[in-house]
Chain A
Amino acid sequence: MAKKIKQIAIYGKGGIGKSTTTSNISAALSKQGYKVLQFGCDPKSDSTNTLRGGDYIPTVLDTLREKNSVKAHDVLFRGFNGIYCVEAGGPAPGVGCAGRGIITAVQLFKQQRVFEELDLDYVIYDVLGDVVCGGFAVPIREGIAEHVFTVSSSDFMSVYASNNLFKGIQKYSKSGGALLGGIIANSINTPYAKDIVDDFARVTNTKIMEYVPRSITVTQSELHGKTTIENAPNSEQAKIYNRLATKINEHVESKTPSPLGVQELRDWAAKWADTLLDLETGVIGTKAAGNL
């Protein structure tokens, strides 16, 4: 009998390090012996670049534009350690409908039963996290991903995007949609950054999967067109990604988050603005400020 494929979706605000994180998770899971497919759901189509030596691959939608029909295998490429890479693709900026593009690309793969056929352990969707329309919610709806993780830094706009995602998850949770696994806290190099995401996780009733610091190793690896797992497997950063992948692998039960309302989120942010100001002006002692 076919095994159960673990399907997860990783959301995050554009530029927050979502594809970097996703590709490193894919690479780490693959090195741990799992068969992984990474599905980029962002019209920029660069989710899988660091799994493919920096190469762009033909996208599902570009292929569909040129041909009458698309065989899923035509848009399926192998990357680092045999990881399957797919990019949904999408329209040029300012035209068409990127959300519809995600619907079309994901449906095509589901209809052709590719995941079952490839005997996968993991399908990881890397999705642009500003859930601006129905299309971007497709991976968290019933029958696609089971677990959602969000990549967020402590920046307010990133937290805001995560909170929006939580709203989407909460909405679809009542109809069999994916639930929230937790937050992958990214670019966490200061105690206050950690405190902010910790506090956000607390108030929204979720948890932090891992704290990932900003690291020059990641930048160096990406400039080589590689993940940290591939380029610097023994680095401290690779250990963190490996630990994260292990936690995701062991993760079983996701939950419905409690997103903040508009005013709640503002009040929450204002409280942190005051705290950060106190830090800067010395009202809070240096001990509490850690290595700021």
Chain B
Amino acid sequence: MKINLDTPVVENREQRLGTIIAWDNGSATNLVKESSTICSGCGANDGERLCESKGPFTQGSVCSEMMVECQAGNIRDAVLIQHSPIGCGAGQVIYNSIYRNGLAMRKLPVENIRITSTNLEESDMVFGGIAKLEQTIRDAWNRHKPKAIFIGTSCATGIIGDDVDSAAAKLEEELKIPVIPLHCEGFKSKHWSTGFDAVQHGLLRQIVNKNPKKQKDLVNVINLWGTDVFTPMLAELGLRVNFVIDMATVEELAQMSEAAATVSFCHTLSSYLAAGLEQEFGVPEIKSPQPYGFDGTDAWLRELARVTHTEEKAEIYIAKEHARIAPRLAELKELLKGKKGYVATGSSYAHGLISVLRELGVEVNGSLVFHHDPIYDSQDPLSDTPDASKNSLDFMVKDSGDVPNFSVSNRQQYQFYGLLKRVNPDFILVRHNGLAPLASRLGIPAAPLGDEHHALGYQGILNLGETILDILAHKKFHLDIAAHTKLPYKQWWLDQEDPFVLAKEII
């Protein structure tokens, strides 16, 4: 068995998948190659799958616990308790705004996020925080009467060894609702995507219906807060959407085991849950390229159609959509001719976006991803080569061509500066904060894809094209910003050719 649900603690990504967060060794093709063979050459990584570039420091980013906030904290009739000092609650502010926006975009009743902190203090660190946790669980129950209560652990509770599992079991018995411990201590993984896995592990263990009644037209869509582009698309195949995890209800999460298939907009997000649903409940994960660009979307729809026996409808839809978007696509290509784009987002989502840019005729000669998973959870970790049908990086390279300057850099602004200088793009695509302001000061506008479904499917090709036209119209504004601002780096760093030089110098 690949995913182990017997233990309450999820195995981190580096352990399961060999995940890395820094790499700058040339092209995307090179990364595909290095991901598919066990490294034996340099000896630096002791036979691990993929060598990682190791620098002396990393700029602040986010942690696994924050991913728990933005997933378990966004379930509509549940409560998340942060068993932590109050500082970990800083993320509640931004996640509340994202949650409210998401609900509005999905036309659901707008409400505030329900996250509560146990506010651990000095004395709790010394004497243990379980009593406070139990009290907070009861308070959350009395205040909200939720259908489930999630508990996110923190670095502090991980170090003192608070027995959150026992407290959760006790309160589950007492309150007769699932009380789910999510082990997401920030120090446990170098990459925050382990936080996704922690939530999904908890859902698979304690929420998902163990005796599913199959619903053969129901498809799990693992996503975030994006607009609902899936319902109309899947309706063409006669299928219904079960959106998870964000903004779902506990009942919708429970019925994941009843679905006919699981799809996603991004393998990075869905890897653990989709593989777990297949392994434990026989819900097939759609193992195909992601739904970006013509070839990706065609292949994705065809695989979904094969699994759900809706091939004929899928072919009709594919033909219809190709024809529908062709005229405007031709215009957009003309308008975007000669433009260079750069993608700086999460891992497999970036692979999809690059494909869409290529459909629009935009040149992509450089991009970065925040981390890289050499394999996904659907694959046996002992296998030498990544799962071909799901290898989004390999698909991107083979389908639309190589990216000569491809890097793995976990939201490191100081490296982003040099990476942009290397290829000098006309615009960048981002989804996360912190990178666009730096690009602006270089005179490069950014398209912030807050709605992660914006570029998805056939319509997504047009959407992205229109957005790029919009932001290119701001070019003069950005050049003005560049002329009147300074970057916070010393001349020595500004003159560096290699953004990863600190990882290579012998210090």
Q: Contact between B163 and A175 (Cβ–Cβ < 8 Å)?
A: yes
With A and B bound together, what is the CA distance between A283 and B52 in angstroms? 75
Given contacts A110-B7, A133-B160, A135-B161, 20 further A-B contacts (CB under 8 A): A67-B48, A68-B52, A69-B15, A69-B18, A97-B159, A100-B159, A107-B7, A107-B9, A111-B11, A112-B4, A133-B161, A134-B128, A134-B163, A136-B161, A137-B163, A138-B161, A142-B165, A143-B165, A175-B163, A175-B167
B160 nearest in chain A by CB position = A134
Contact of B163 among A67, A69, A108, A172 (CB under 8 A): A172
Could you give, for residues 85-115 of chain A, a 1 whenever the CB lies within 8 Å of some chain B CB and a 0 otherwise? Answer: 0000000000001011001000110111100
Q: Contact between B7 and A175 (Cβ–Cβ < 8 Å)?
A: no
Which residues of B sit under 8 angstroms from A253, Cβ to Cβ?
none
Within 8 A of A (CB), among B136-177: 158-163, 165-167, 169-170
Which residues of A sit under 8 angstroms from B9, Cβ to Cβ?
107, 110-111
- Could you jot down 28 A-B contacts, CB within 8 Å? A66-B46, A68-B14, A68-B48, A69-B18, A70-B15, A99-B161, A100-B159, A103-B161, A107-B9, A108-B15, A110-B6, A110-B7, A110-B9, A111-B4, A111-B11, A111-B15, A112-B4, A113-B6, A133-B160, A134-B160, A135-B161, A136-B161, A137-B161, A141-B166, A142-B165, A143-B165, A175-B163, A175-B167
Which residues of B sit under 8 angstroms from A68, Cβ to Cβ?
14, 18, 45, 48, 52
Which residues of A sit under 8 angstroms from B159, Cβ to Cβ?
97, 99-100
A116 nearest in chain B by CB position = B6
Contact of A172 among B7, B160, B166 (CB under 8 A): B166
With A and B bound together, what is the CA distance between A134 and B1 in angstroms? 30
Interface size on B, residues (CB 8 A): 26
Q: Contact between B170 and A175 (Cβ–Cβ < 8 Å)?
A: yes
Could you give, for residues 167-192 of chain B, a 1 whenever the CB lies within 8 Å of some chain A CB and a 0 otherwise? Answer: 10110000000000000000000000
Closest CB of chain B to A146's CB: distance in Å?
A: 15
Which applies to chain B's interface (DSSP): helix, strand, loop or mixed?
A: loop
Which residues of B sit under 8 angstroms from A135, Cβ to Cβ?
161
Contact of B169 among A103, A111, A113, A176 (CB under 8 A): A176
Judge whether A79 is part of the interface by a CB distance below 8 angstroms. Answer: no
Q: Contact between B7 and A111 (Cβ–Cβ < 8 Å)?
A: yes
Contact of B48 among A69, A97, A107, A133 (CB under 8 A): A69
Judge whether A177 is part of the interface by a CB distance below 8 angstroms. Answer: yes
Which residues of B sit under 8 angstroms from A69, Cβ to Cβ?
14-15, 18, 48
Which residues of A sit under 8 angstroms from B163, Cβ to Cβ?
134, 137, 141, 172, 175
Judge whether A266 is part of the interface by a CB distance below 8 angstroms. Answer: no
Judge whether A78 is part of the interface by a CB distance below 8 angstroms. Answer: no
With A and B bound together, what is the CA distance between A67 and B54 in angstroms? 12
What 4 pairs across the A-B complex have the smallest Cβ distances?
A: A134-B161, A175-B166, A135-B161, A111-B11
Judge whether A174 is part of the interface by a CB distance below 8 angstroms. Answer: yes
B10 nearest in chain A by CB position = A111
With A and B bound together, what is the CA distance between A174 and B128 in angstroms? 17
Q: Contact between A177 and B162 (Cβ–Cβ < 8 Å)?
A: no
Known: A67-B46, A68-B18. A142 touches B160 (CB 8 A): no
